[in-house]
Amino acid sequence: MSEAVNSLIQATADHLSRFAPFDQMDAEHVLWLAQHATLGYFAKGEAVLSPDQSEPVPFVIIKTGVIQGEQGGARTPDGSAWLELHEGECFPLGALLAERPVTSVYRASSDAFCYLVPAADFLRLAHRSPAFYDFCTRRIANLLEQSKHLIQAGYSKASAEQQPMSSNLAAVIRRNPVTCPPDATIRQALQAMQEHGVGAMVAVENHVPRGILTLHDVLSRVVLAEADLSHPVIGIMSTQLTTLPPHAPAHEAALAMARQGIRHVLVTDHGRLTGVVSEKDLFNLQRVGLSRISNAIRHAATLDLLKQCAQDIQQLARNMLAQGVAAEQLTQIITTLNDLLTTRIIELELQANPLPDIAFCWLALGSEGRFEQTLNTDQDNGIIFAPQAHQDPAALREVLLPFARRINDALDACGFPLCGGDVMASNPKWCLSLEEWQGTFDNWIYHGAPMDLLHATIFFDFRPLYGAAHLGVSLRAWLQQAAPRNSRFLHQMAVNALRNRPPLGVVRDFVTGDDHTVDLKLNGITPFVDAARIFSLATGGAQTSTLERLREIAAPLNIKPRDIDAYCEAFLFIQLLRLRLHHAQNEQGQRLTNRVDPDTLNTLDRRILKEVFRQARKLQTKLGLDYQV
């Protein structure tokens, strides 16, 4: 083989190694691929692959240009192709693995050069390279796995500082130590402790600690001993000091306290005092554990304690994100803890202001109803109640509304802003009896005005959160029967849902607004949420979670399991991006939003985001075909 040919093959391998999955493959396997690839040119409008080809389809990797997919001649409602591929992307994996023709037409939307690899060599490479095989069989999952490793690496330093008892003592210290000279009087030392609000006073001489007095010591050594307050404080101090260096892990301080029965450890650097760590400091380190937060919420006696719990939930979410907890589990954990928080607020309110004997249920709506809350969420809630035979619903509503307003205000104080659209239990429209809720839903289903369709996207995701849960269960069972009976309503919901298109561009990767951002909630999450809701209503589904709805509709709608898996993985990646975005905004003291500039994402995440939007388009294409939109 000539030197020029070798150089060309190496240049091809180097180019491929810039893109997934080739960047994860052994160099020898990428070089083997380059050796078996030929370069093909396709003019704008020319078909690269089509279902009527008789010979085995090749494995295609785009070198330059753009390739679009046309699925059975179907196009999206806005006239764009359902699939668009750019430099470094490859196709058609499914057809090659199944050794069948393609089912879509792949057409060059601009002049394009592509690497072409024979089908037999594609299969040999899949057998040779585990990384390549894994990518081909789990495309989105594989990309997500790579992204997760990058996320964990990016959060590893911050995470280490937050993990219970693994932090070093320098990170635990919250303030400069309060000190006095050894010859200060007892009175002066006690006054300083009171002024600074500390539980320990350290006597220091030339920055070296000589003794410590704690509040625990005051009772036995000062009060009961009737010590003369004008005497030097060093005389009643403990001079057998326990010290640790700043780099020592917190668990060493905890062990020292346990072994010696003390409540404070001095932190010294080459003999010089740098801080004091208390038993309370170490307890606070562990406060952001899942069980500790849930226990703290359940036993919180005041709203101020619940505000702290709300902050701890955010910190826990960051820690779990750094540990690689999947987005599905993370959003469920966040929602579950927020449920506990809401429940405790209701319990405290009922203790302070008991209600008369009313059977009611607090409903979670919207993202909380779907178990899909991130850290940027306002309130969506309602109340369903059951009047007894002699009770007037309007009179019961007047009793429940002030109660609901206090709950809404308390949630607002804990970091869940009041809903701008007033979708809250304190709104008389959303504090209704079971019969009134059924009448309201029935009107939406058979009237179908624009506002009705908007309300359906929020309220049809309800679930019982507190109180008489059977009322919520009854309303769900009624809706499961009522919604499928009106195909016109479901068609209207589909039309409404398909107005919101994933922001994939033809010239650029993404269609962005004037601020060069895309909305991860509106354009990313919502297409999946809306489609899953409509299909679930049509099939009489009982689930409220988007992921569970997608899994639930697979069998009745005859959707292939691998397609459902791809939709779920795509949905979860958007959720993961939102969680990361909200954490970054929190760290920088910014207002939480769902808007992200695609140019700020790394190459891998941009690649996955494009794939995610394609999956959203594919799901919307099915929605459009099923409802003839």
pLDDT, averaged across the chain: 86
Window from 26-30, 82-86, 560-564 with minimum mean pLDDT: 82-86
570 has pLDDT over 70: yes
Domains delineated in the chain: 3-137 (2.60.120.10), 169-285 (3.10.580.10)
Q: What's the maximum distance between 2 C-alpha atoms anywhere in the chain?
A: 104
Helix (H) or strand (E) holding 388: none
Q: In this structure, what DSSP letter does residue 175 have?
A: S
pLDDT computed for residue 327 by the predictor: 76
pLDDT at residue 76, as a whole number:
43
- Side-chain-side CA neighbours of residue 497 (13 Å): 30
pLDDT of residue 77: 42
| Interatomic CA distance for residues 282 and 562, integer angstroms | 47
pLDDT of residue 73: 44
How far apart CA 63 and CA 86 sit, in angstroms, is 8
Q: Is the pLDDT confidence value at 139 over 90?
A: no
What is the H or E stretch that residue 210 is in? Answer: strand 208-214
In whole angstroms, what is the distance from residue 343 CA to residue 226 CA? 50
* Contact (CB, 8 A) for 357 and 561: no
CA distances from 48 to 21, 38, 97, 477 (A): 22, 14, 18, 50
d(CA 421, CA 380): 9
Please count the CA atoms within 13 angstroms of the CA of 601 that sit on its side-chain side: 25
Percent pLDDT > 70 in the chain is: 89
Residue 448 has a pLDDT of 77
pLDDT, position 159: 47
DSSP β-bridge partners for residue 510: 504
Q: How far apart are CA 382 and CA 425, in angstroms?
A: 4
CB 119 within 8 A of CB 59: yes
Per-residue pLDDT for 548 more than 80? yes
**Distance separating alpha carbons of residues 298 and 31, to the nearest angstrom:** 59
244, containing H or E segment: strand 243-244
Q: What is the pTM of this model?
A: 0.65
Residue 511: pLDDT band (50, 70, 90) is confident
Average pLDDT, integer, range 368-375: 85
* Per-residue pLDDT at 164 exceeds 60: no
* Tens-place pLDDT, residues 178-221: 999 999 999 999 999 999 888 899 999 999 999 999 988 888 89
**Nearest-angstrom CA–CA distance, 12 and 33:** 9
Q: What is the pLDDT of residues 398-457, one digit of tens each?
A: 999 999 999 999 999 998 999 888 999 999 999 999 999 999 999 999 987 888 898 999
Q: Look at residues 352, 546, 385 and name the one whose alpha carbon lies nearest to residue 472.
A: 385
